[in-house]
């Protein structure tokens, strides 16, 4: 399969590298020193157990110009959501009549931005479960045993293209599930991510610092309950104990809880605020559910959405 990765940073670089290693023809869209390193030395993927080097050549091509790539079978959209205004128009030369776009961005409605540009029939919303970083140009560090992609048709239907995408990911060493209820998947991950990102960015502290404090634990649980209520009002079939399960996961993994939005605000970078807590506020208004905690988080962080501390 011809695959392009729009945003070959940590997550996109990992999945793109694995797809190339699995025999697919992969184009990585990257920039700057990262692009130069991939061109010079190939892409290196460090896991907890091995070092993989995927050399540039017939199966792996890196460029900063999507127009050089031309139409492909599958595009992985993995840029941060605040980069969509630039990335999605740049991606269009790679979209042909039979192209599918697998959106692996944070949020419950992020995929709709791509759908507006390329057509709703081309976009598959999905969720990526992976701990990955880019410690230096050309190098991806993947940690832990959790690596998985869950995706589906927006309406929950079966489709030939969904099966083809799944059957491309799995042989490349990427556990994948073609879900018949992707909205449940998106909202379940969103409840966790939006809460963690929001409270840690607001407080400028980590979950390990916040959870032992009763006052912050109350805020964290209430934020999750708020998102749960909005999701159920929107017709999402969330697990009956979604908050309890999420809380148990957080408490069992506090030392590993690191939100990228927290890292971004601490470094003065732009924030995915609109895709996370902003999305809660928008969804709440649509279903007429009050979202006071997320409104406070959104209002407090909005001055820093374009960067700054």
Q: What is the CATH number of the domain that holds 21?
A: 3.40.50.720
Domain count, the chain: 2
Q: Do residues 120 and 248 share a domain?
A: no
Last residue within a domain, chosen from 180, 207, 222? 180
Q: Do residues 189 and 170 share a domain?
A: no
Q: Do residues 159 and 236 share a domain?
A: no
Residue 231 lies in a domain: yes
Last residue within a domain, chosen from 150, 180, 210? 180
Q: Do residues 194 and 210 share a domain?
A: yes
- Residue 66 CA to chain centroid, in angstroms? 21
How much is the pLDDT for 255?
Answer: 82
Q: Do residues 163 and 219 share a domain?
A: no
Residue 309 lies in a domain: no
Q: Do residues 33 and 164 share a domain?
A: yes
Residue 119 lies in a domain: yes
How much is the pLDDT for 166?
Answer: 98
Q: C-alpha distances in angstroms, 79 versus 112, 114, 296?
A: 14, 12, 27
Local structure of 195: helix, strand or coil: helix
Q: Do residues 172 and 188 share a domain?
A: no
SS3 content of the chain, % helix, strand, coil (to 5): 50, 20, 30
- pTM value is 0.94
Report helix angle 292-301 to 214-233, nearest 10: 110
How much is the pLDDT for 269?
Answer: 95
How much is the pLDDT for 189?
Answer: 96
Domain range for 97 is: 2-180
Name every residue whose Cβ is closer than 8 Å to that of residue 206 and which is 6 or more positions away in sequence: 200, 257, 258, 262
Last residue within a domain, chosen from 140, 163, 180? 180
How much is the pLDDT for 215?
Answer: 98
Q: For the domain that residue 260 is a member of, what is the CATH number?
A: 1.10.1040.10
Q: Do residues 187 and 239 share a domain?
A: yes
Q: Do residues 22 and 110 share a domain?
A: yes
Contact status, residue 19 vs residue 174, Cβ threshold 8 Å: yes
Q: Do residues 21 and 152 share a domain?
A: yes
Q: Do residues 123 and 152 share a domain?
A: yes
Positive or negative, the CA dihedral 198, 199, 201, 203 is positive
pLDDT tens sequence for the chain (309 residues)? 999 999 999 999 999 999 999 999 999 999 999 999 999 999 999 999 999 999 988 799 999 999 999 999 999 999 999 999 999 999 999 999 999 999 999 999 999 999 999 998 999 999 999 999 999 999 999 998 899 999 999 999 999 999 999 999 999 999 999 999 999 999 999 999 999 999 999 999 999 999 999 999 999 999 999 999 999 999 999 999 999 999 999 999 888 788 999 999 999 999 999 999 999 999 999 999 999 999 999 999 999 999 976
Residue 198 lies in a domain: yes
How much is the pLDDT for 58?
Answer: 75
Residue 14 lies in a domain: yes
Residue 81 lies in a domain: yes
Give the gyration radius of the chain's Cα atoms.
Answer: 19
Q: Do residues 98 and 211 share a domain?
A: no
């Amino acid at each position: 399969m011809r695959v392009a990765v729009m945003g070959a940073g940590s997550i996109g670089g990992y999945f793109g590298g694995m797809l190339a290693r699995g025999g697919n023809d992969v184009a990585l869209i990257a920039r700057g020193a990262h692009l130069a390193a991939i061109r010079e030395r190939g892409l290196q993927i460090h896991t907890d157990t091995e070092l993989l080097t995927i050399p540039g050549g017939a199966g792996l091509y890196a460029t900063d110009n999507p127009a050089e790539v031309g139409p492909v079978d599958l595009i992985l959209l993995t840029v941060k959501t605040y980069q969509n205004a630039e990335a999605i128009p740049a991606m269009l030369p790679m979209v042909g009549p039979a192209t599918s776009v697998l959106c692996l961005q944070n949020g419950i409605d992020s995929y709709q931005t791509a759908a507006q540009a390329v057509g709703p029939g081309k976009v598959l919303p999905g969720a990526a479960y992976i701990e990955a970083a880019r410690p230096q140009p050309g190098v991806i560090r993947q940690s832990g045993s959790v690596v998985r992609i869950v995706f589906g048709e927006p309406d929950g239907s079966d489709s030939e293209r969904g099966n083809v995408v799944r059957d491309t990911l799995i042989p490349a060493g990427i556990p994948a599930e073609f879900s018949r209820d992707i909205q449940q998947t998106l909202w379940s991950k969103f409840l966790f991510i939006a809460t963690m990102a929001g409270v840690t960015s607001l407080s400028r502290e980590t979950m390990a610092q916040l959870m032992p404090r009763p006052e912050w634990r109350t805020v964290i649980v209430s934020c999750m309950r708020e998102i749960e209520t909005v999701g159920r009002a929107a017709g999402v079939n969330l697990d009956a104990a979604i908050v309890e399960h999420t809380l148990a996961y957080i408490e069992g993994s506090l030392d590993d809880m690191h939100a990228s939005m927290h890292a971004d605000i601490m470094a003065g970078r732009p924030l995915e605020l609109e895709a996370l807590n902003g999305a809660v506020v928008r969804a709440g208004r649509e279903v007429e559910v009050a979202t006071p905690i997320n409104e406070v988080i959104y209002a407090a962080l909005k001055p820093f959405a374009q960067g700054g501390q």
